[in-house]
Structure 1
Amino acid sequence: MKAAPYFAEIAEGPEDGRTFWLTTADEVRLRAGLWHGNGPRGTVILLPGRTEYIEKYGRIARDLAASGYATLTFDCRGQGLADRLLADPMAGHVQDFAEYQRDLDALLTAADAQGLPEPRYLLSHSMGGCIALRGLMRGIKVQAAAFSAPMWGISIAAWMRPFASVFSTMSVWFNQAHRYAPGTGGKTYLAEAEFAGNILTKDSETWDYMKRQALTHPELTLGGPSMGWLHAALMECHALSMMPSPPVAAYCALGTSERVVDTGPVHLRMAAWPRGRLDLIPGSEHEVMMEVPVTRSRFIASAVALFEANR
């Protein structure tokens, strides 16, 4: 597989980190990232959230390597250095969330091609949790799944909820799916926001780490979602909500200060997941894996315990 650019200086991951290009079944080019670390105990397939990219998870890969796990992740379509799908590269866009399953399939094929150690596990954040849940429901072969603030529902202002689905559907019908969703635009949140009052983390050092990445390599960043993405996300979250939880052991962490995803569907899903456990973390914002050290350690320790119990 052909090597791709990798910005090790901002990732701060294990020293053996490397990236390479993947091509999906529908001919979209993705960038995959791999850290072997001390990986004889298995491989973690890490699915990032919307706007995210490989380098953001360098420190998480370092933590997983310390526990004996290799980490394989990617820039999914429309973000990072993967193919952008609109003329405006800052607009996050897909027409259907099934497209992300093609990305996941390409990543799993790469895990086999690279001979990465088994067993395999899923670790996902936000939008990645939506992609992971669909993958589990399709029957992808992993032993267990850990979720950080999964996007199983879209957080929308109460007054907008009755209209969001209608507006997004109409945008698709009238060829306006490329336009930004209301209240969003082409600027990336990390580059514009200040630490005080941010909706991602209460840890200033980790905030600086993420902001430094966005400012040093703005080509990795992404702005708001398109109306097409919003429509596809609403449809996918609704479809998933109608399906039973998969027969896979799961751990899900959710901050009590969560303001990015809709928390209701997370509580409903985990309450009905036979082999699932919901961990409510007091005071945590959206980025559980990028929170204060005690929260990060709690999440990694819980995820690793789940993996070890499901070998």
Structure 2
Amino acid sequence: MSDLEPAPLVELDDDPTPVGTKAFWFEGHGGIRLRAAICPAQGKAKGSILFSPGRSEYVEKYFEFAREMTAKGYTLAVIDHRGQGLSDRLLKNPLLGHVVDFSDYARDMECLWPLIADQMPAPRILMAHSMGGAVAMDVLRRGHLKFDKMIGCAPMLGFAGASPVMTNAIRLLSTLGLKKLSPPGLSGGGALDPEAAKILTSDPKRFDRDIRRNKQEPKLQLAGPTIGWLHAALKLFKSLQGKTGYRQIDLPISLTRAGHEALVSNSATEQACKQLPNSICQTDKDALHEIFQERDELRDTFMARIDGFLKL
């Protein structure tokens, strides 16, 4: 990894970079330039975590989590998925979240792994939030990377409130060649959307931290998804429900749903757990979507669940 080009990190005074963290650029699937970071364990190593963030998220959003886990002896690696964070954007408008094929995210993680594998001690854990949950399931389904356990937080295995009318409209608009456009009637979202906190977290301090970082480095900002992104996600959801999807993923998996979820489908997560051979599905009834960014009393419960699952 020493020959990789160093990449910048965006630090806040009240959210410092974890000790020893190294960010770097690497070449993802198709030659795209991506950013990732590795945060080494402090003290005796207990294992390692490869983290797949949610849509619009980036390495620095998980600094707090990284400080906690590295202090417990886990090395943590985090990727900026293509089209977000400081990784290359895919459209002329850098604020539009786009992907051609949802499996490109998994392919990027497969490109990253050989670069860091010798620094990722066993047991090796795949962890994910939101969109990253769909990516993680795709990684496991593809079978090129091997992990001992997987942990998903509010995994995006379906869209909240999705209807046949909506899904058919997305498919039609995509077929008509409108993949790179924003879908009509969909809110832009993003870290600077003043309404976003109402559905993401009940912790104003952690939400404000995200806003301040996005203002400090505007290149981190991302707004809404494109029609093509939505269509690609729908195709992956359907594929995961097929014969080569969830049923073929047999490692221990813990999935946690937010009780006040407004973005992803909790019922889709429940259905996935019924198909996954070795899974646990639990609900944090008072949490909003971003449980990692929730207020302490909710977040602490979730972190304790992670610790317990890692010790099994």
The TM-score normalised by the length of structure 2 is: 0.91
CA-CA distance at 1:194 after TM superposition: 4.9
- In structure 2, the residue matched to 1:258 is 261
Deviations along 1:214-260, one digit per CA (max 9) or x if unpaired, are: 22222101110000001101111111122315111111111111111
Provide closer, same or farther for how the CA distance between residues 214 and 205 of structure 1 changes in structure 2, counting only shifts above 3 A: same
Task: Please tell me whether residue 57 in structure 1 is matched to residue 62 in structure 2.
Answer: yes
Which SS does the other structure have where 1:100 is aligned? helix
- In structure 1, the residue matched to 2:129 is 125
CA-CA distance at 1:188 after TM superposition: 4.7
Deviations along 1:255-311, one digit per CA (max 9) or x if unpaired, are: 1111110111111112343321112112100001111212222222222322232xx
- In structure 2, the residue matched to 1:216 is 216
Q: What amino acid is aligned across from residue 266 of structure 2 in structure 1? A: T
CA-CA distance at 1:69 after TM superposition: 0.3
Which SS does the other structure have where 1:191 is aligned? coil
Contact 1:32 1:72 in 2 (8 A): yes
Contact 2:49 2:120 in 1 (8 A): no
Q: Percent of aligned pairs with the same residue? A: 31
Task: Please tell me whether residue 24 in structure 1 is matched to residue 28 in structure 2.
Answer: yes
Q: Distance in 1 between matches of 2:231 and 2:108?
A: 19
Task: Please tell me whether residue 182 in structure 1 is matched to residue 184 in structure 2.
Answer: yes
Q: Distance in 2 between matches of 1:6 and 1:54?
A: 8
Q: Distance in 2 between matches of 1:58 and 1:99?
A: 25
Contact 1:155 1:261 in 2 (8 A): yes
The TM-score normalised by the length of structure 1 is: 0.91
Contact 1:241 1:265 in 2 (8 A): no
RMSD over aligned Cα, in angstroms?
Answer: 1.8
Which residue, out of 282, 296, 299, partners 1:296? 299
User: What are the ranges of 5 or more consecutive residues in structure 2 without an aligned counterpart?
Assistant: none
Q: Distance in 2 between matches of 1:9 and 1:51?
A: 19
Contact 1:256 1:283 in 2 (8 A): yes
Q: Distance in 2 between matches of 1:304 and 1:111?
A: 24
Q: Which moved more, 1:205-214 or 1:250-259?
A: 205-214
Q: What amino acid is aligned across from residue 140 of structure 2 in structure 1? A: L
- In structure 2, the residue matched to 1:80 is 85
Q: What amino acid is aligned across from residue 129 of structure 2 in structure 1? A: H
Q: Distance in 2 between matches of 1:103 and 1:267?
A: 27
Which SS does the other structure have where 1:279 is aligned? strand
Q: Distance in 2 between matches of 1:260 and 1:169?
A: 20
Deviations along 1:6-43, one digit per CA (max 9) or x if unpaired, are: 11336534122221001023101110011113261111
Task: Please tell me whether residue 144 in structure 1 is matched to residue 146 in structure 2.
Answer: no
User: What are the ranges of 5 or more consecutive residues in structure 1 without an aligned counterpart?
Assistant: none
